[in-house]
Structure 1
Amino acid sequence: MSILFINASPNKNGNTSQLAKQVLAEKNYGSLQLIDYKIYDYGQDFPDDQLEEVLAQVLAADTLVIGSPVYWHSFTGLLPLLMFLKWLTIP
């Protein structure tokens, strides 16, 4: 079983990352830092868009653990962008 932790925090080593390390301490897991990828809005076509690379990792995982800090009662803007684009591009 493969586990992928998706960190939606702009701070790679912040509280979200530290919490994931504690929760997944006994597990073998991969990490995906959304801040490291260029993901553009739906309908934008740029050659450096890395959505497909991110989706390949998401689809290859058996289990997703998603972490995001809370800003003004919601998650970061990185997370809904990935979620909405994922469901818009996968049939």
Structure 2
Amino acid sequence: MNCPNCGSQNVQLRHIGRKVGSSIGAAAGGLAAMEGASADAVIGSLMPVVGTITGGLIGFIIGVGSGATLGAITGESLDGTVFDEYCCPVGECTFNTQ
């Protein structure tokens, strides 16, 4: 693939939607998981101290991970439609395939 402006072959995928979506999803998942982590900590408190901490951490990690994954999937659908999919560092431009 060549840049439509300068003809360079040094074209790169941007993944802006996926990057932004995963960041927003991780933040939202982390906030939601903080609420869920307290419930996981209560369940983990069947084994005092270690179980409480482990239960809370596992709940938080699962929330952040699932939020980031769902955000990346959603954001990836925006790449090429809302955001330009490719960039050319030589011509300093962004574009989509025609």
TM-score (ref. length: structure 1) = 0.22
* TM-score, with structure 2 as normaliser: 0.21
Larger radius of gyration: 2
Greater per-residue helix proportion: 2
